[in-house]
Amino acid sequence: MMKPDPFQYALKSNEAWANYKGHQNPTFFPKLSEGQAPKILWLGCSDSRVPETTLLGLQPGDVFTHRNIANIISPTDLSFLSVLEYAVMHVKVSHIVLCGHTACGGCAGALSDGRIGGVLDAWLTPLKAVRDAHEAELKGIKDDKARMRRLAELNVAKGVEVLMSSYVVAEAIKERGLQVHGVLYDIACGKINDLAVGNSSKGVPGQKATKEQPLEIVKGNHAMLVFGGSGASMAIR
């Protein structure tokens, strides 16, 4: 039996999904067509295993997104800068989430002494600089998977540093309390770990709202991502 063509299968899947969503909520797509007002800017890796809306349990319209190889945040990347400026200045997101992940091919490439070839070697230069800056620590980690995970964490920390130095981000933090979060997604268990970098401290699951730090809820049809003043937690509602 012939396997279905991946693209044709995707189209059929899209048709089934669109029909289901339209039947479940007839106003869903008409409302989406009127505009967007996401609260989250997600900066992540292009890895197919890390689809932000899916793993957050959210819906189309909830997350503004930019992804690239190894979630590298470069102050000279015009694609990233245009997304950042639009999301912060025009969409006015409340949260920026920079997400790295385990088993990252970019981290594996950066830890290797060999060339990958083509433009990828140039693209991974900032990640290799992070590797070199933490050479002693990384060499002290004998397990390959653990070493890759640690480099992914360090890469997120460096990316958050770049974000925080951006004028666009700094002004939004000052003027309206924009929050920047650095997290790591563990592919093996499907959970996101707050790395406690950025301008918000690590969240506590089940944290209650306070007058000084009210909870903000980003709604989806099946779940809600609840942000407090010091982190985020998922709640099924």
What mean pLDDT, rounded, does the chain reach?
A: 88
Look at residue 50 and tell me if it is in a domain. Answer: yes
Task: Answer yes or no: is 45 a known binding residue.
Answer: yes
The annotation status of 132 as a binding-site residue, yes or no, is: no
> Is 90 among the annotated ligand-binding positions?
no
Over residues 107-114, the mean pLDDT reads 93
Residue 6 within any structural domain of the chain: no
Asked whether residue 17 is assigned to any structural domain, the reply reads no
CATH number at residue 158: 3.40.1050.10
What's the mean pLDDT in 79-105?
98
pLDDT (average), residues 3-19: 95
- Catalytic site residues? 45, 47, 49, 101, 104
Least confident span in 52-56, 64-68, 69-73, 112-116:
112-116
Spatial contact of 59 and 52, defined as CB atoms under 8 Å apart: no
Model's pTM, two decimal places? Answer: 0.84
- The answer to whether residue 193 sits within a structural domain is yes
Residue type, 89: M
| 3 within a domain of the structure (yes/no) | no
Span 87-108, mean pLDDT?
A: 98
Residue 93 counted as domain residue: yes
| 21, part of any domain | no
pLDDT for residue 234 is more than 50 = no
Domain assignment of residue 119, given as a range = 37-198
Q: Is the model's pLDDT at 228 over the cut of 80?
A: no
